Chains A and B, each alone.
Chain A
């Protein structure tokens, strides 16, 4: 999947030298990442590599120990709601919908930062109130239609099937009119059909002019989807580049599958690992 990057691309997200330490543990070590407008960037890495921690640093859930995160040139304040207001929306690895609100209400909550009606307006039903509510509703319904959930607008979020809950989370994030969407494992637990649908949805989001940064384990999905892939291993970004390049990189393979070590007592085991490695590369090639 190659997109011709137009000369007018602007930097949407610029994370430089982000480090996150929990006590003595360094979860993320001086990671730089740039996302340009119109791009889909993948972030991969083995379990525990610090991908979600890095995400949390980007969205203000964690305050990075060092480094700074800038969105469209302005440094982001370390408060999640201000980050969202600035224009970065996210989804969660383990779905965090408002389970006992309806699908429509979930999306309306996503509109929170883009509407202003306060308590007085609600209590006195000031003239702007009805109009704003109506607009929010229309906008939310548009998004539900976009994600294909419009027919279920009045269902409780908890009653949706898994794949649709993922979609709803995306719709809710889109409701805050972001310039950058962060997706944390959007296809975890999905079957191939659902994964393909998710792929289509993410392309459609990109076509709306929203940059996407996606964490994923499904290599096939990432390779299809992303213009650029960054690999995080043990908190450090070891390689970044187009999908094909990253896939062929030895360090990435080593990180995922481990390296055979020379002269180790178990010769057979090393051979096994090599075989597995060879197998995985051939499999990767015909993708």
Chain B
């Protein structure tokens, strides 16, 4: 158990003085902090100068006095570093920034600035041919960020070394300087203030996400990933995320509402239809991943053919959509199409699940993988040659007409509150409704007798049956529910993408909703959580969509990323409390802190003040 030092506004440095751990760079504390502040200020100033002489490099970094493109990222990172560093001085009003670690956020954000700036300088000199293309502004920022990192590494370390581990080497000390203790308990705030903080948190999240989707060239996206990655870790180390999640755990419904309001706002931040389409596709992918999370995360059934259920839903919706190429000449209204798709998937799920769910573990995975492929091949063969003509074989069902709900044609742009909502924006909002339904279904089923029985089956099926749980029936229920949710998403997907073809529903492919990527989204994001698969799906969709230049190496990089993740964070990005405890031995840290202390423990808790 880590020692929780109660952090109060002025004591950050005092706490650091008592830490026996030595920083990586031997510097007096005051000098180190001054150097960090000076360095990040220098990096910040540099962004207002020109970084290169020509606007051939995307983003136009030639303007003095007005940062653009990658300069903005450096600016934001440097400002963050500056704030964290100043907070370490114990300046009043900044203490709330660092309830957890004081100095590790500085190190992390300084590294982020160095990464972004360094990447930009590298990209400029590579694309334009040589270091000569760098204007002084780039050097100012670059040197500033380097100085900031050196200074930050001289700052005292936030928590003492493990007593048993002995004195680590330089690499160990570097890694240690990035760790931080957990923040103490926050002071009680009035609930309106807490809700405001949640809203602000989601607003910031939306802004970052929208910025990431709206990046227009891959250099900016790489810079965004570096800044966002380091910035996010820095904020986590500072303890802000812990504070926020404590608040969200307290106001769960408010949080859910805030998340959806933020998500609704997204299409209004995008004027480009292409980016809104990315948003809609992310939602489809994320919704299906969340459906898979019922099967994999809760019931523990490894399903490698899950994308077939999405396909069944999409094909069913396409057949009744009134497309001229559909072999059934009917045009169902949307609600009926949705029911058809969900029902078809449900039936398909039961039909596949009933025989296969008698298998356990690896065998189940292999058989579901087989059924997933069988679906695709069957759709290919129902072309009139190899079988009856139902699906037009590999041509699929094209020309699926746009939806019209209550006279609102989703295919046309609409003007909402003075902002144009494009076709993709419309579908995004429709899909969001389905995501909301799936989130609700997931949450409610997980927190019930059925959900507990699923987890029990996952943990130990023999013991679960000995406790009176009908294992087969409940596994089939999970399988069918998962299939049904995927079918829901499929009905929208068919309309968003205009056409359905068998090749969209492979086991592994380069375009995200396929079985391998779905499973990866669930595992990467965090099994058994709601936000995990959503975040995992967003990352897995966004990164390949934005970095077109590495399309050839996509699967290679994807595999490498998964391996690294399994090595360093096996519980996924968003850790279920259970998983967190399963993979990291934290002793008795699981003692829940939901029982409020009567005496309002010491804490910073100036947030929102």
A interface residues with partner B (beta carbon < 8 Å): 59, 61, 79-81, 84-85, 89-90, 92, 96-101, 105, 108-113, 115, 117-119, 121-123, 125, 129, 132-133, 136, 154-156, 158-159, 172-173, 176
Contacts and interface: CB of A to CB of B under 8 A. Distances in A.
Interface string B326-340: 000000000000000
B469 A81 contact: yes
Chain B, interface size category, equals 35 or more
Contacts of B581: 100, 156, 158-159
Which 6 residue pairs of A and B lie closest in terms of their CB atoms, listed nearest first?
A: A113-B468, A122-B448, A84-B468, A96-B463, A98-B459, A80-B465
A155 to B, nearest CB: 6
A101 B457 CA distance: 11
A61 B465 CA distance: 9
Contact of A129 (B448, B462, B578): B448
Nearest to A122: B448
A4 to B, nearest CB: 33
Contacts of B448: 117, 119, 121-122, 129, 133
B459 to A, nearest CB: 4
Interface string B290-325: 000000000000000000000000000000000000
Interface string B53-91: 000000000000000000000000000000000000000
Given A119-B445, A122-B444, A176-B467, A108 B459 contact: no
A155 B578 CA distance: 10
A159 B590 contact: yes
Contact of A125 (B444, B459, B591): B444
23 contacts: A80-B465, A81-B467, A81-B468, A89-B467, A92-B463, A96-B460, A98-B455, A98-B463, A99-B460, A100-B459, A101-B455, A105-B452, A117-B450, A119-B448, A122-B449, A123-B445, A125-B444, A154-B590, A154-B594, A155-B591, A156-B581, A158-B582, A176-B468
B265 interface: no
Given A99-B460, A113-B469, A115-B449, 18 more contacts: A84-B466, A96-B460, A96-B466, A98-B456, A101-B455, A105-B452, A108-B452, A109-B464, A113-B467, A113-B468, A118-B450, A119-B445, A122-B449, A123-B440, A125-B444, A156-B578, A156-B590, A159-B588
Contacts of A105: 452, 455
Given A81-B469, A81-B470, A112-B467, A154 B592 contact: yes
A81 B578 contact: no
A117 B449 contact: yes
B456 A109 contact: yes
Interface in B363-413: none
B445 A81 contact: no
A250 B522 CA distance: 62
Interface in B429-487: 440-441, 444-445, 447-453, 455-456, 459-460, 462-471, 477, 481
A34 B590 CA distance: 44
Contacts of A113: 467-469
Contacts of A99: 459-460
A85 B468 contact: yes
Nearest to A92: B463
Contacts of B440: 123
Contacts of A123: 440-441, 444-445
Given A110-B467, A112-B467, A159-B590, A101 B450 contact: no
Contacts of A96: 460, 462-463, 466
A130 to B, nearest CB: 11
Nearest to B460: A96
B467 A119 contact: no
A58 to B, nearest CB: 11
A122 B451 CA distance: 9
Contacts of A156: 578, 581, 590
A153 B594 CA distance: 13
Interface in B570-609: 578-579, 581-582, 587-588, 590-592, 594
Contact of A101 (B459, B468, B470, B592): B459
Contact of B466 (A80, A121, A154): A80
A82 to B, nearest CB: 8
Q: Which of B445, B450, B459 has the most CB of A within 10 A?
A: B459
Given A80-B466, A155-B590, A100 B578 contact: yes
A118 B481 CA distance: 13
A280 to B, nearest CB: 35
Contacts of B594: 154
A157 to B, nearest CB: 9
Contacts of A158: 581-582
Given A98-B456, A118-B450, A90 B466 contact: yes
A99 to B, nearest CB: 6
A176 B466 CA distance: 10
Given A81-B471, A119-B477, A123-B445, A101 B464 contact: no
Contacts of B591: 154-155
Nearest to B585: A159
A37 B471 CA distance: 30
Contacts of B456: 98, 101, 109, 112
A113 B467 CA distance: 8
A132 B452 CA distance: 14
Contacts of A121: 448
Contact of B465 (A81, A101, A122, A133): A81
A261 to B, nearest CB: 42
A112 B468 contact: yes
A46 to B, nearest CB: 25
Contacts of B447: 122
A184 B455 CA distance: 24
Interface string B211-232: 0000000000000000000000
Contacts of B462: 61, 80, 96
A213 B325 CA distance: 69
A122 B449 CA distance: 8
Nearest to B473: A81
Nearest to A132: B449
Contact of B582 (A89, A100, A129, A172): A100
Nearest to B446: A122
